Structure 1
């Protein structure tokens, strides 16, 4: 027994010695930074890199923390479903007294479990969305010179479960966060780092990390199957598609129309080949295989397709087809959907993050009582239009069954005709 106790004592001393040595080797003091306009400027650049606006507008976020705690966060409603073991809490983050507790699917009263769920959420959501919280109330920002580059120190002076914690964000050349160093009350060693990696582009447009690796013994934190989406906006968008018979549009093989009487189109939608005609020029355009495109002058094919003319045809098609079929493109890749309230009614903001000629443009669709678009407000990335309205009117049901507009009217009274619109199979 004495021999065992001696061996145990030696082991304990070795562990204490190892921890002490590890602490003095790895512990770092909190670096001092410079507060002020420059620090806030760096933080704004970080915000822009991670698309903070999409985070603000996101309705629902789902994730898990180390495959132990599971979350469905109704962000705009301040409600989170928190699940672990046999427990499920419908957590009201603004007023925890309104939260509901279920144990083995049976509703019960348990304040301790509510508090535990609240603490889990504060910790586990931070590992998911911390980059979006750098301007939260109770935060201080400063610039720190880290390895010869500017890094952003964020200190939480209040809020959450552990106020007083500080995080030094390490940014890449595009101001995107790649890791941070931590000085927190729950980790006794200062300066422990964690990667922010495996970033995922979500349906709602924001980027979220799928995992972290800590410098402390290489510990990994998986964030599970991350989702972020706008549930109510998707419902509204689907109502629009149903109203304009999008199913028939998808099956439509050919569309024909013109644009202000200046240009005309025949789009073989099934093969995605378009005849674009203006003046004496016709381009047989292959939008997805541009090198196959052919140019005709007075219906005589040019031996070599002029790349400038082909590019012009491509730009014309992108612009002019949008005025015909934009309501049918609400779920295209790279499209973000958000609810807006205009004149006390739901409207749908659609932002195109990729594709087309001018990615970044957004449009707020105003609808009639049947969800058919009656107008939109245009917000162009280049700043030329900031809420400029245009009607979508004189809708027709084509031979194929799809609904398409034939006219538009602008704020200044100008008209845009789509000519004789046809859709058939």
Structure 2
């Protein structure tokens, strides 16, 4: 027995010594940084890189934490469904006393489960959306030199379940976080790092991580099936499409129109070929394979295709067709839809993250009582447009059954005619 206790003592002592050595080898002191405008400027670059504006407008976020805790967060309602095991809590993030607790689907009064749900949410949501919280109340930001590059140190002086924690964000050349180092009360070793690299581009436009890997023993933190979306904005977009008979638009073969009397078009949507005409030029533009396009001058086909003319036709088509069919493009790839209020009524904000000639442009659609667009406000950085408005008026029902506009009026008083608009099969 004495030998057993002696061996046990040696084992415990070895573990203590090993732990102490590991602590002093791995433990890092909290770095000192420089606070002020430069730190805030770096933080803003980081927020822009991950589309913080879209985060503010996101309606619902879903994820799980290590396969045990599951979440559906209704951000605009300040409500989150937290579930684990046999427990489910409808957590009111602003007024905890209005939360509801369920055990085996039966409503109960259980402060301990409610507190646990609140603590779970604070921790597990931080592992999902921490980059979006760097300007929360009670945060301090500093610039730190890390491996010869600028990194952002964020300290939470209040809020959450563990105020006083600090995180050093490591950024790539586009200011997107790739990892952070942690100095927290629940991890005794300072400077433990975790990856923020397995990003997912969500429907609402925000970037969210799908997993993290910790430097401490290579621990994995999976975030499950991550989703972020805007059901209310999507519902309004579907009402618009129904109002303008988008189904008929999808089945329309030919569209014809002109643009301010300067350019004219005949678009074969099925074959993806648009005849674009202006001045003495006509380009048969292959919209899916631009290299197949052909150029005509004064009605004669040019044997050598001028790439500049084709590029000009491409830009003209992208711009002028958008003024005809933009409301039919609400669910194009990489389109972010969010709901906004204008004069107390729902309006649809649409941002195009890719495609066209100027990706990044956005438009705020105002609707009539039947959900047909009556005007939009344009936010086009390349043209320095910040909310310039124009009407969408004189809609017609084409032969194919879809609705298209024939005129626009700008806030300056100028007008834009779409000419004789046709849609047919």
TM-score relative to the length of structure 2:
0.98
Aligned residue in 1 for 2:243: 243
Distance in 2, Cα, partners of 1:173 & 1:385: 28
Distance in 2, Cα, partners of 1:363 & 1:237: 13
Aligned residue in 2 for 1:343: 343
1:111-156 Cα deviation digits (max 9, x unpaired)? 1111111100000010011111111100011111111211111100
Aligned residue in 2 for 1:153: 153
Distance in 1, Cα, partners of 2:62 & 2:423: 41
Aligned residue in 1 for 2:35: 35
Aligned residue in 2 for 1:207: 207
Aligned residue in 2 for 1:405: 405
Of residues 15-24 and 233-242 in structure 1, the stretch that sits farther from structure 2 once superposed is: 15-24
Alpha-carbon deviation of 1:225?
A: 0.7
Distance in 2, Cα, partners of 1:248 & 1:114: 51
Name the count of aligned residue pairs.
425
5+ long unaligned stretches in structure 2: none
Of residues 10-19 and 222-231 in structure 1, the stretch that sits farther from structure 2 once superposed is: 10-19
Q: Is 1:334 aligned to residue 341 of structure 2?
A: no
Q: Is 1:298 aligned to residue 293 of structure 2?
A: no
Distance in 1, Cα, partners of 2:84 & 2:383: 48
Aligned residue in 1 for 2:371: 371
Alpha-carbon deviation of 1:31?
A: 1.0
Cα RMSD between the aligned structures?
1.1
Distance in 2, Cα, partners of 1:384 & 1:40: 25
Distance in 2, Cα, partners of 1:242 & 1:139: 46
Distance in 2, Cα, partners of 1:144 & 1:384: 35
Aligned residue in 1 for 2:109: 109
Distance in 2, Cα, partners of 1:59 & 1:391: 28
Alpha-carbon deviation of 1:257?
A: 1.0
Write out the 4+ residue segments of structure 1 that deviate beyond 6 Å after TM superposition.
Answer: none
Alpha-carbon deviation of 1:382?
A: 2.4
1:374-412 Cα deviation digits (max 9, x unpaired)? 111111112532211111111111111111111111112
Which secondary structure state, in structure 1, belongs to the residue aligned with residue 116 of structure 2?
helix
Aligned residue in 2 for 1:51: 51
TM-score relative to the length of structure 1:
0.98
Aligned residue in 2 for 1:173: 173
Alpha-carbon deviation of 1:25?
A: 0.7
Q: Is 1:193 aligned to residue 193 of structure 2?
A: yes
Which secondary structure state, in structure 2, belongs to the residue aligned with residue 217 of structure 1?
coil
Which secondary structure state, in structure 1, belongs to the residue aligned with residue 178 of structure 2?
strand
5+ long unaligned stretches in structure 1: none
Of residues 68-77 and 158-167 in structure 1, the stretch that sits farther from structure 2 once superposed is: 68-77
Aligned residue in 1 for 2:220: 220
